[in-house]
């Protein structure tokens, strides 16, 4: 669907990495478009989910969990704070650091983003039967648990 015109163009376009990359790019672009009315971008959603899963974690800990360098996570945190989705709370143990707290608005935005992601999943996987979808998710989970080697 997203890369079918190029599928026969070369051996490169027949590799799993290339196909996953093209599908991922198209899915990310569509997800971004669907998130726009909420004032969110895909990178905001990953951080909101991490904050929900790691309540009151530091910016550093969140960055490490998402494999994002501190200089890259701060602007995303700034964006979410400006939206009222999170609060920076001084860390009681170390006043130089901040813990990040999800606000009720942030929880609602995350819930809306999840609904958008699920609808997009349905659209992307529409041509697959339920058992094929389940198999694909299981295989993607297996592949994502092990980073690519050499």
pLDDT digits over 31-87, tens only?
999 999 999 999 999 999 999 999 999 988 999 999 999 889 999 999 999 999 999
Cα 103 to Cα 52, 76, 87, 91, 120, distances in angstroms = 10, 15, 7, 17, 25
Neighbours of 135 (CB within 10 A): 12
Run of H or E including 96: none
What pLDDT is recorded for position 150? 62
What number does CATH give the domain 43-120? 1.10.10.10
Cα 150 to Cα 21, 35, 146, 147, distances in angstroms = 17, 35, 12, 10
Model confidence band, residue 139 (pLDDT cutoffs 50, 70, 90): very high
Question: Residue 132 pLDDT more than 90?
Answer: yes
- Residue ranges of the alpha helices (H) in the chain? 4-7, 16-35, 42-53, 59-66, 70-82, 104-124, 130-144
Sheet holding 57-58, edge to edge: 57-58, 98-102, 86-90
């Amino acid at each position: 669907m997203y890369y079918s015109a190029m599928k026969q163009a070369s051996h490169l376009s027949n590799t799993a990495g290339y196909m996953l990359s093209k599908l991922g790019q198209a899915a990310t672009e569509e997800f971004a478009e669907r998130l726009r009315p909420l004032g969110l971008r895909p990178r905001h959603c990953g951080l909101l989910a991490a904050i929900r899963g790691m309540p009151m974690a530091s910016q550093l800990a969140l960055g490490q969990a998402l494999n994002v360098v501190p200089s890259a996570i701060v602007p995303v945190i700034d964006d979410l704070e400006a939206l009222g989705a999170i609060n920076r709370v001084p860390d009681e143990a170390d006043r130089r650091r901040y813990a990040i707290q999800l606000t009720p608005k942030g929880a609602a935005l995350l819930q809306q983003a999840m609904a958008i992601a699920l609808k997009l999943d349905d659209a992307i996987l529409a041509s697959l039967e339920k058992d094929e979808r389940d198999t694909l998710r299981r295989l993607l989970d297996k592949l994502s648990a092990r980073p690519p080697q050499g």
